[in-house]
């Protein structure tokens, strides 16, 4: 199976592969599935990198932290 399935039970692997296969065969066209996924990943990356949506901003540096950095 796929390397990222290492340690996942065989039954779960089978179900995930069947679901993935169904998702692609239902659309009958990979080009209908890929563009929204790519667009969503680009928008998510932009939000994360520009606005720090999913984690707090970097904490303010104290005097001690500043002296170690410089």
Q: How many domains does the chain have?
A: 1
Domain assignment present for residue 40? The answer is: yes
What pTM was estimated for this model as a whole? Answer: 0.36
Checking if the pLDDT of 54 tops 80, the result is no
Which pLDDT score is estimated for 15? 83
User: How far apart (Å, rounded) are the C-alpha atoms in residues 31 and 55?
Assistant: 33
Q: Which pLDDT band, with edges at 50, 70 and 90, does 61 fall under?
A: low
Which pLDDT score is estimated for 16? 80
Domain assignment present for residue 10? The answer is: no
User: Where in the sequence is the domain holding 61, given as residue range(s)?
Assistant: 30-70
User: How far apart (Å, rounded) are the C-alpha atoms in residues 19 and 12?
Assistant: 11
Residue 6's SS3 state is: coil
Domain assignment present for residue 56? The answer is: yes
Span 20-52, pLDDT tens digits: 887 777 666 677 777 888 888 888 777 767 766
- From the list 1, 26, 29, the residue with the least C-alpha distance to 16 is 1
- Beta-carbon contacts of residue 18 (< 8 Å; ≥ 6 apart): none
Domain assignment present for residue 23? The answer is: no
Domain assignment present for residue 7? The answer is: no
The answer to whether the CB of 32 falls within 8 A of the CB of 24 is no
Domain assignment present for residue 37? The answer is: yes
């Amino acid at each position: 199976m796929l390397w990222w399935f290492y340690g996942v039970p065989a039954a779960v692997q089978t179900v995930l592969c069947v679901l993935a296969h169904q998702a692609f065969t239902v659309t009958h066209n990979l080009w209908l599935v890929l563009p929204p996924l790519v667009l969503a990943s680009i928008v998510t990356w932009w939000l994360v990198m520009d606005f720090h949506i999913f984690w707090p901003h970097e904490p303010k540096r104290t005097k001690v932290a500043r002296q170690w950095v410089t």
